[in-house]
Copies of this chain bind each other. A is one copy, B any other.
């Protein structure tokens, strides 16, 4: 009987270990990314999980025939001598002694993935071929960076004593209300896909004080725009014992700073490949909703038709203004009109037409909506009644207020949106591994 001890022994090493193995014979595993035949030798470029490794084939030192079986797309173990790269300082290459083929493709790749970047192809084809396109190192860097963004959010919040929770995605009522909700037949009963973990994260406040969740949410929006997805990853947090909603903005700013530092430290390779312009986030300026409208009117001479919300163009103008005035890529807009905010939003005591809430704009586009919630039971019921809601339907949610909850608030941050704007994509679909939109549920 074999016993498993949990120590996986690999004979092959990673490229990062080459530096300390110069002059030694080692093995490395990867997929053949590119073969460049020269007059009397060949470059065999290996793609490994995070590197692209140059191996040299030459009859002088290679014991292996570089025949037609060795082709792009093959998974191989290459054994050879580690030497310094003569033309690129600080880089190492492998003089191939042997190649063992582990797996072979059935067909050559349908598009070129081993150049610096993928040729410009139509978005639809690009997404159909997503799993092929991502074999390009620059393309795959996008979702490695996205890992880092979510990881930074989580690591920062754990350090701030938040608890990570997992709430159901099959739900009996929508947190956002309205028609933008997917319906599901659940053993003969009609239920919904969660638009947000809102109710659940609030319910955890008297239990853990501070909670967060990183999970998919579903919106049946009929928007066919470059910034809407019907399924996306929401990074949600909720925190109790706040003095005001400014506390939530402090936590978000702290999280963003931590995220960008983490990317700078542990995702440098990806930032370089993608030529990312890291944002300035020393501090984030804030402006009240109505003052922002004022700036749009007076600085940008734009006629306002809607005083309840911003249109995309107005957000863009505010982004420009924040960059020009404060050299900031971010701008908090606070005190949104009550009418446009959900029933659980706390109204501003000084002016109840506005809420204790905020949006965060990143380079002129909203990536977060947040705010303080109502914690008093009677106030919450009164606001629901004023909106004509059926209070009885929210019985389990209202237990929260009935049995006592500290002043609290939170926010949601769209993972794809922040990825999109950090990387300067024109379309959010490029920032989702397998995007879901009005027309697309494949691959």
In this assembly, does A79 line the interface, its C-beta being within 8 Å of a C-beta of chain B?
Answer: no
Q: Does A384 contact B (CB under 8 A)?
A: no
A200, CB-defined interface residue at 8 Å: yes
Shortest beta-carbon distance from A289 to chain B in Å = 14
On whether the beta carbons of B168 and A150 are closer than 8 Å, the reply is: no
Q: Does A161 contact B (CB under 8 A)?
A: yes
Least CB distance, A393 to chain B, in whole angstroms: 10
For residue A1, CB closer than 8 A to chain B, the reply is yes
Chain B residues with Cβ below 8 Å from A401 are 106
Residues 117-159 of A at the B interface (beta carbon under 8 Å): 128-129, 131-132, 134-135, 140, 143-144, 146-147, 150-151, 158
A400 on interface, CB distance cutoff 8 Å: yes
Contact (A246, B4) CB under 8 Å given A168-B436, A218-B170:
yes
Chain B contacts for A255, CB-based, 8 A:
6
Q: Which residues of B contact A253 (CB under 8 A)?
A: 4-6
Known: A7-B250, A171-B441. A1 touches B397 (CB 8 A): no
Smallest distance from the beta carbon of A176 to chain B beta carbons, Å? 17
Q: Closest CB of chain B to A311's CB: distance in Å?
A: 23
Distance of A232 Cα from B400 Cα, bound (Å): 24
Binds B, one of A36-44, A89-97, A372-380: A372-380
- Does the CB pair A105–B377 fall under 8 Å? yes
Instruction: Decide if A74 is an interface residue (CB 8 Å cutoff).
Output: yes
Q: Which has the most chain B C-beta neighbours within 10 Å: A257, A287, A332, A433? A: A433
Q: List 17 A-B contacts (CB under 8 A).
A: A1-B287, A2-B286, A3-B285, A5-B283, A6-B281, A8-B247, A8-B254, A106-B378, A107-B402, A131-B400, A132-B399, A135-B206, A143-B163, A147-B165, A168-B231, A170-B182, A187-B222
The interface of chain A, by Cβ under 8 A from chain B, is: 1-8, 12, 14, 29, 31, 48-50, 73-75, 102-110, 128-129, 131-132, 134-135, 140, 143-144, 146-147, 150-151, 158, 160-161, 163-172, 182-187, 189, 191, 193, 199-200, 203-204, 206-210, 215-216, 218, 220, 222, 230-231, 233, 240-241, 246-247, 249-257, 281-287, 332, 375-378, 396-397, 399-407, 415, 433-436, 438, 441-443
Given contacts A147-B164, A170-B441, A182-B185, 18 further A-B contacts (CB under 8 A): A6-B250, A49-B163, A75-B375, A75-B405, A102-B406, A105-B377, A105-B403, A105-B404, A107-B377, A109-B403, A131-B399, A132-B399, A140-B207, A165-B433, A169-B216, A170-B218, A172-B442, A183-B184
